[in-house]
A and B are shown apart, each in its own frame.
Chain A
């Protein structure tokens, strides 16, 4: 489980959603696999720290991820082609996605300041970080440590069930924290002065809350998603 939100913070998840729209996935393509492929592409675009995203391999591919990841990367490349190579997503676009259902717990997945910015990598060079999944979570840091036994939530699932109702897609895949919602304005402010972002004590919900009904808003034109 990504308790530090290094590969699944709210912006990366919003980008994942944008890729689904840009790819014009059919409902049947709203799958767990495609979710992770899109999430991996979002990490490819945004994260300079390259190793964190490798944790996604065991989540999506299970124990045999070492054999299967080259194929997974080809699928990422295919998705990139399908979205016509437009993997860049602006912050504004992400924020508009979040604004569809701003109170959704997925959008509370704020990354702490100590996991942002330029990372010195001297310490990491001594050893290559190998993904710990699917049976263990990534190493969590002292500041974000969450006390939970919900590791299996992001573990591999053999079933490739298509997830038809899209707003629940993320909800059904991610362990969600019950963090007090922040207004968009305060998020922006927090982003500007990163020190304001609290290393939140994550207490993971035992149950996955259902998203508010928002289907109607989503079926309307979302053309702006295609704009950069």
Chain B
């Protein structure tokens, strides 16, 4: 296993030991400190260590495993450090079953990410292949959107929502232009750096949608973020699949709670969506009644509701916010706004204009004036109250 390998490769000299110690005593709260605080991140990331001239990419001993971050469906993820350049990394260690070789999810994830270099896509630095395991070495980001929302409950600062949404759509637009579907958008898979950079991660379910006739699984996307056409059993989906998920994430950031949560099967999930959007019929969705999971008894049920009546936070924001949400959470997939169109929506017009003309690899935080606001609530820092005038309406409305 890679972790053992990297450990056995460690022979700390004095300076190394000191440096290692420095890392260990960094505030353990990877998730604990406020990620909206840019100063929190001034750690080792920026420093360029040249540490051992013989070390090279593709070698297990080039990375040192620090702590386990989590257990995925087919991999364990560790925080680690590159002994080549001192950068923090995330090591996704995939255990190989002897009979099956490398899981297809890993083959797809690594192959796709090899070709995707963008400021809003997690960067795959290196791949280490040994007999027992395959390790994908990613850039390290401090947190993810799910944890960020846990840390800042009750909905995020509306300006931060805009900054996160812009980056999410920028990343999606890039992969969609490359004809790749993510197929598993959810807050857990959106990584966030201390600066507020958001990056799409976990391409284990992702695939190319470039070739026209290939087979597709309909069992994609975590239920809460799965669009109604796929829930209904549609046999053809495309980039609009990810746009629905992005719309759900949008609502979740505003409300501090998932848009369509808490259900366990496809029919309950559909019912939840119809409660807000209304039950579709042939008039407003030609062909819907032919989809496998369509139920005629849904007729005479709910009428569409105003989004601002369902998700109250929209009431306090300019109308264009609700407008963009509506264009993303549209029942008919072909009517759903694309990521590229969404980036041009008036909702983003308050961002500095140069943000629209960045090169792929350039972070939006390079544009003067783009920065994360301090969130109103922080469970790890409850004492840090900002102006009561800012807090009060928030407390009243959320």
Interface residues of A (CB under 8 A from B): 6, 9, 11, 41, 44-50, 52, 69-70, 73-74, 76-77, 80-81, 84-92, 94, 110-113, 115-121, 191-192, 194, 197, 228
Contacts and interface: CB of A to CB of B under 8 A. Distances in A.
Interface string B276-296: 000000000000000010000
Contact of A119 (B208, B213, B217): B217
B111 A88 contact: yes
Given A73-B99, A73-B100, A85-B127, A11 B111 contact: no
B380 interface: no
B115 A194 contact: no
A86 B115 contact: yes
Contact of B208 (A9, A86, A88): A88
A46 B112 contact: no
The residue in A86, A88, A228 that gathers the most chain B C-beta atoms within 10 A of its C-beta is A88
A80 B107 contact: yes
Contacts of A119: 215-218, 235
Interface residues of B, number: 36
A44 B107 contact: yes
Contact of B211 (A11, A52, A73, A80): A11
Contacts of B218: 118-121
Nearest to A81: B129
Contacts of A228: 115, 178
20 contacts: A44-B108, A45-B208, A46-B208, A48-B216, A49-B217, A50-B104, A52-B215, A85-B127, A86-B115, A88-B112, A88-B115, A88-B208, A90-B210, A91-B179, A91-B210, A116-B212, A116-B214, A118-B235, A191-B212, A194-B213
B115 A46 contact: no
Interface in B291-316: 292
Contacts of A120: 218, 233, 235, 292
Nearest to A188: B212
A86 B107 CA distance: 9
Contacts of A81: 129
B107 to A, nearest CB: 6
A88 B111 CA distance: 5
A12 to B, nearest CB: 8
Nearest to B180: A88
A74 B237 CA distance: 33
A60 to B, nearest CB: 15
A55 to B, nearest CB: 14
A6 to B, nearest CB: 8
B190 interface: no
B110 interface: yes
A91 B213 contact: no
B104 A44 contact: yes
Contact of A87 (B98, B107, B179, B230): B107
Interface string B240-275: 000000000000000000000000000000000000
The residue in A6, A48, A116 that gathers the most chain B C-beta atoms within 10 A of its C-beta is A48
Given A86-B114, A118-B234, A77 B102 contact: yes
Contact of A192 (B98, B108, B212): B212
A11 B110 CA distance: 21
Given A73-B99, A74-B101, A194-B213, A118 B208 contact: no
A47 B211 contact: no
Contacts of B129: 77, 81
Given A88-B108, A89-B208, A118-B236, 4 more contacts: A70-B101, A88-B114, A118-B217, A194-B236
B175 to A, nearest CB: 12
Interface in B176-217: 178-179, 207-208, 210-217
A11 B214 contact: yes
The residue in B98, B107, B127, B178 that gathers the most chain A C-beta atoms within 10 A of its C-beta is B107
A48 B207 contact: yes
The residue in B211, B234, B292 that gathers the most chain A C-beta atoms within 10 A of its C-beta is B211
Contacts of B178: 90, 228
Given A44-B104, A73-B101, A85-B114, A11 B213 contact: yes
Contacts of A41: 107
Contacts of A194: 212-213, 236
A113 B208 contact: no
The residue in B213, B214, B216, B292 that gathers the most chain A C-beta atoms within 10 A of its C-beta is B213
A20 to B, nearest CB: 16
Nearest to A48: B217
A192 B212 CA distance: 7
Given A85-B110, A118-B235, A70 B98 contact: yes
Contact of B214 (A46, A88, A110, A197): A46
Contacts of A85: 110-111, 114, 127
A120 B217 CA distance: 7
Contacts of A191: 212-213
Contact of B215 (A44, A87, A90, A117): A117
A108 B259 CA distance: 46
Contacts of B292: 120
A120 to B, nearest CB: 6
Contact of B216 (A9, A52, A69, A117): A117
A132 B211 CA distance: 27
Contacts of A84: 114
